[in-house]
Amino acid sequence: MYPNSPNIRMHLLTLEMVPNTMGVMTYLFKSKKEVIGINFSITSREYYESKRSDIRIDIAVKVQNIVYDNAKYVDIGQVIYKIERTYQVGQFIDLYLKRTSIKLGEIIDYT
């Protein structure tokens, strides 16, 4: 199934920006899907590419294509990451993640 041992458990999140009662834009929880993937190191080329494009990549994770649902956020250990870039490699998809400042308590209806 996996080329290496799965070593990271995460939740793919679908969030939507909506105004709260005060009119401030906040995140609304839509859906969550638990998946298991492989945490891997980015290459030096990918690192320099991310620096050049001003997109800092904190984590890279590989999951199977069939489990990825085009989510834009990931919860790993109660830390929210934004999926900055994806790259399909055969039956797998590489997700390049950037840590966000979103706190779990700030997401409306997140369970």
Domain containing 93 — which CATH number?
A: 2.40.10.270
- CB-CB contact of 27 with 15 (8 Å): yes
**84, part of any domain:** yes
Q: How far is 74 from 82, CA to CA, in rounded Å?
A: 6
Number of domains in the chain: 1
Domain that holds residue 67: 8-103
Contact in structure between 78 and 100 (CB atoms under 8 Å): no
Instruction: Answer whether residue 2 is part of any domain.
Output: no
Residue 110 lies inside a defined structural domain of this protein: no
Write out pLDDT tens, residues 53-110: 888 888 999 999 999 999 999 999 999 999 999 999 899 999 999 999 999 999 999 8
DSSP type of residue 108: B
Residue 49 has φ and ψ, to the nearest 5°, of -65, -40
Assess if residue 14 is contained within a domain: yes
Question: Measuring CA to CA, which residue among 19, 92, 14 is closest to residue 60?
Answer: 92
The pTM assigned to this predicted structure is: 0.86
